[in-house]
Amino acid sequence: MAERFAPGDRVVVRLDDPRGHTRAPRYVRGRHGVVVEVHGEHSLPDAVVARGDATPEPVYAVRFDAVELWGAGGHGVTVNLWQSYLQPDEVTA
């Protein structure tokens, strides 16, 4: 699967509430962040567990400001997220 994002791109984590396991932490869903690194392609654990689908997809390190996540500033949080969890941030792009 082709990389859709590059370092510096603003993204939004999809606001999904899937049945079963997901590697997208609830506290980042629907939140805006910035891609800081691309980690290559890896199988999405959600798809492996649910369907036995080990098709790899790009994984990104995405940085979120603490204000965006919790309303308090001064630091950031970086989370590794698979491409299917992300969409372009069209509001601030």
Residue 33 and residue 64 in contact, taking contact as beta carbons nearer than 8 Å? yes
> Across all residues in the chain, what is the average pLDDT?
90
Q: Rounded to whole angstroms, how far apart are CA atoms 48 and 44?
A: 6
Q: From residue 41, give the alpha-carbon distance in Å to each of 19, 22, 25, 27, 75.
A: 24, 17, 19, 24, 28
**Radius of gyration of the CA atoms of the chain, in A:** 13
pLDDT of residue 45: 82
Residue 83 and residue 5 in contact, taking contact as beta carbons nearer than 8 Å? yes
pTM: 0.88
How many residues make up the chain in this entry?
93
Over the stretch 10-67, which tens digit does the pLDDT of each residue have? 999 999 887 777 889 999 999 999 999 999 998 888 777 777 768 899 999 999 999 9
> What domains does the chain contain, in order, with CATH numbers?
10-88 (2.30.30.50)
pLDDT of residue 75: 93
